[in-house]
């Protein structure tokens, strides 16, 4: 099993190296589906050059990374050769897969415990499960889903900063039940860069409430204090690096106001190209409320018993409705789908999602619209499958008919 695990990582690394050193690398990095205004390595290079020349990189509409990111990328470009830079991108991608595998291990262990309780509630006498096999399978599927996901591979080969963002996301997920500090640090860095990931605080707090600790309220207060302290410190460091708050408009302000309307896989660019100017701020407010506020409380209330599914839902909603998405964002949450393998028997929209996600059109926005619809169907199908699973457990429904597993339909 360890050989299979290792071989997956070796093969995934080789694929990335070969593509990075091929003639397709530049083509991939220039694709609008891969590189956006927020994650383009070309923009990073130009921003670092301006910074080294004593010019504020945030004065124009070019650079949108955080000052901390600017400092790190400046160090990388000054001290790393191109070959080592390739290694860094590949290593970061492989490390992300490791953390996602650990997340899967943690979640699979929770599911095994829940399943035993569910079988007692349903009075089912089933054969003993091989818990170790279930956990290992979940780890293998999730890590392989990330390593060999075409969206993730293209994202890495295109040298986008989403590679590092995905690493922070994976740290946030794996640390939800392990370390308050690392969870707060990763979410703070993500929030400083992209604003929307602040929603991941909710599943982390729910995990704390599910813990067996007698000091849950104190732990929640500690979590909030640690998060507020870290993000305040990060803003202070950013101000110290730049000497002003000019970066706020080019990072968080750029995400909220959507001034760059070049095509991407999102829904904003074409809509705001066509909308009348005097309605612009109304629709910007509507779009931003939709992605940042509208689903946080309802999903948290409904999925309070499954915080990992809640985190997945937030990641999916952000990838679908954020202002500057890329396929790297989509590939990240899709690689988590094997975590809910136990819900697949309740899903119904697999064929529709498959058709939509591979759809084509002679109008680019038509393709992006179909792509977004496919993701919405996928997310809602998983969430409805979760509801059906809870219904079956609560009412003790036996899904085995003549030795075959049946599907549960709620009408």
All structural domains of the chain with their residue ranges = 2-405
Q: Which of 39-53, 111-125, 355-369 has the lowest mean pLDDT?
A: 111-125
pLDDT at 138: 87
Residue given tokens 């996928």 in the structure block: 378
Query: What is the reported pLDDT for 101?
Result: 93
Residue whose C-alpha is closest to residue 51's, from 207, 182, 247: 247
Q: Residue 405's pLDDT band (boundaries 50, 70, 90)? A: low
Instruction: Report d(CA 358, CA 374) in Å as an integer.
Output: 9
Residue pair 184/178 in contact (Cβ under 8 Å)? The answer is no
Higher pLDDT, 266 or 360: 266
- Report the pLDDT value the prediction gives residue 112, as an integer from 0 to 100: 83
When mean pLDDT is compared across 132-136, 312-316, 342-346, 369-373, the lowest value belongs to 132-136
State the angle between helix axes of 216-242 and 180-194 in degrees (0 to 180), rounded to the nearest 10. 40
| Residue 1, pLDDT score | 62
pLDDT at 116: 72
pLDDT(133) > 50:
yes
Burial class (CB in 10 A: 0-12, 13-18, 19+), 122: middle
Picking from 107, 201, 186, 154, the residue whose alpha carbon sits closest to that of residue 329 is 154
- The string of pLDDT tens digits covering residues 154-172 is 999 999 999 999 999 999 9
Is the pLDDT confidence value at 129 over 90?
A: no
Residue ranges of the alpha helices (H) in 175-200? 180-194
Tell the burial category of 5 from Cβ atoms under 10 Å away from its Cβ (0-12, 13-18, 19+).
middle
Place of tokens 């599914």: 309
Confidence of residue 174 (pLDDT cuts 50, 70, 90): very high
**The tokens of 398 are what?**
């036996």
Q: Beta strand 400-401 with 404-405: parallel, antiparallel or unpaired?
A: antiparallel
Residue pair 158/31 in contact by the 8 Å Cβ criterion: yes
The better pLDDT of the pair 131, 13 is held by: 13
Q: Beta partners for 401?
A: 404
Using the 8-state DSSP alphabet, how is residue 344 labeled? Answer: G
- What is the percent of the chain where pLDDT is above 90? 66
For residue range 80-114, list pLDDT tens digits in order: 888 899 999 999 999 999 999 999 999 998 888 87
Q: For residues 387-409, b (16+ Cβ closer than 10 Å) or e, as one string?
A: ebbeebbeeeeeeeeeeeeeebe
Lowest mean pLDDT among 151-165, 178-192, 316-330, 359-373: 359-373
Q: Is the pLDDT of residue 126 over 60?
A: no
What value does the mean pLDDT take over residues 253-282? 91
Cα distance between residue 193 and residue 280, in whole Å? 24
Which residues 6+ apart lie within 8 Å of 100 measured at CB?
Answer: 142, 143, 146, 170, 173, 174, 335, 336
> pLDDT by residue (tens digit) across 280-322?
999 999 999 999 889 999 999 999 999 999 999 999 999 999 9
In whole angstroms, give the CA distance from residue 260 to residue 194.
15
The pLDDT value given to residue 12? 94
pLDDT of 410 above 80? no
* H/E stretch holding 198: none
**Least confident piece of the model among 76-85, 125-134, 181-190, 392-401:** 125-134
Nearest to 226 by CA among 218, 236, 237: 218
Give the distance, in angstroms, between the CA of residue 283 and the centroid of all CA atoms in the same chain: 25
Please enumerate, as own/partner, the contacts of 12-20 that have beta carbons within 8 Å and a separation of 24 or more. Answer: 12/93, 12/94, 12/97, 12/147, 12/148, 12/153, 13/90, 13/94, 15/148, 15/153, 16/89, 16/90, 16/93, 16/153, 16/156, 16/157, 17/86, 17/90, 19/153, 19/157, 20/86, 20/89, 20/90, 20/157
Q: Side-chain half-sphere of 218: how many Cα atoms within 13 Å?
A: 4
Average pLDDT over every residue of 159-187: 94
Reported as a pLDDT band with limits 50, 70 and 90, residue 127 is very low
Cα–Cα separations (whole angstroms), residue 228 to 154, 223, 248, 253 = 35, 9, 18, 20
Average pLDDT, the chain: 89
Assess whether pLDDT exceeds 80 at residue 407. Answer: no
């Amino acid at each position: 099993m360890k050989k299979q695990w290792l071989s997956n990582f070796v093969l995934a690394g080789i694929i990335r190296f070969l593509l990075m050193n091929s003639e397709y690398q530049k083509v991939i990095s220039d694709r609008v589906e891969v590189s956006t205004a927020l994650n383009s390595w070309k923009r990073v290079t130009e921003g670092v050059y301006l910074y080294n020349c004593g010019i504020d990189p945030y004065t124009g509409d070019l650079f949108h990374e955080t000052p901390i990111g600017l400092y790190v990328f400046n160090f990388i470009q000054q001290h790393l050769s191109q070959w080592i830079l390739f290694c860094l991108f590949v290593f970061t991608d492989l490390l992300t897969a490791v953390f996602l595998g650990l997340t899967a291990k943690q979640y699979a262990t929770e599911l095994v415990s829940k399943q035993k309780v569910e079988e007692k509630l349903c009075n089912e006498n089933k054969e003993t499960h091989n818990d170790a096999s279930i956990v290992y399978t979940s780890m293998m599927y999730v890590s392989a889903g990330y390593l060999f996901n075409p969206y993730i591979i293209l994202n890495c080969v295109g040298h986008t900063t989403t590679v590092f963002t995905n690493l922070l996301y994976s740290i946030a997920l794996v640390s939800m039940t392990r370390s308050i500090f690392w969870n707060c640090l990763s979410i703070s860095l993500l929030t400083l860069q992209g604003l929307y990931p602040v929603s991941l605080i909710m599943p982390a707090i729910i995990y704390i409430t599910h813990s067996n600790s007698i000091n849950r309220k104190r732990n929640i207060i500690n979590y909030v204090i640690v998060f507020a302290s870290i993000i305040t410190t990060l803003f202070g460091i950013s101000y110290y690096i730049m000497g002003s708050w000019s970066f706020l408009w080019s990072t968080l302000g750029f995400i909220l106001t959507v001034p760059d309307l070049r095509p991407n896989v999102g829904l904003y660019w074409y809509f705001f190209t066509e909308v009348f100017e005097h309605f612009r701020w109304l629709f910007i407010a509507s779009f931003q409320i939709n992605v940042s506020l509208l689903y946080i409380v309802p999903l948290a209330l409904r999925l309070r018993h499954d915080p990992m599914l809640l985190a997945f839902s937030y990641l999916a909603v952000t990838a679908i409705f954020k202002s500057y998405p890329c396929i790297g964002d989509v590939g990240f949450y899709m690689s988590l789908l094997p975590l809910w393998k136990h819900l697949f028997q309740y899903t119904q929209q697999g064929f529709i999602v498959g058709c939509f996600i591979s759809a084509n059109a002679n109008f680019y926005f038509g393709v992006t619209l179909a792509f977004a619809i496919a993701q919405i169907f996928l997310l809602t199908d998983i969430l409805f499958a979760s509801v059906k699973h809870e219904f079956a457990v609560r009412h003790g429904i036996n899904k085995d008919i003549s030795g075959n597993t049946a599907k549960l339909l709620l009408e």
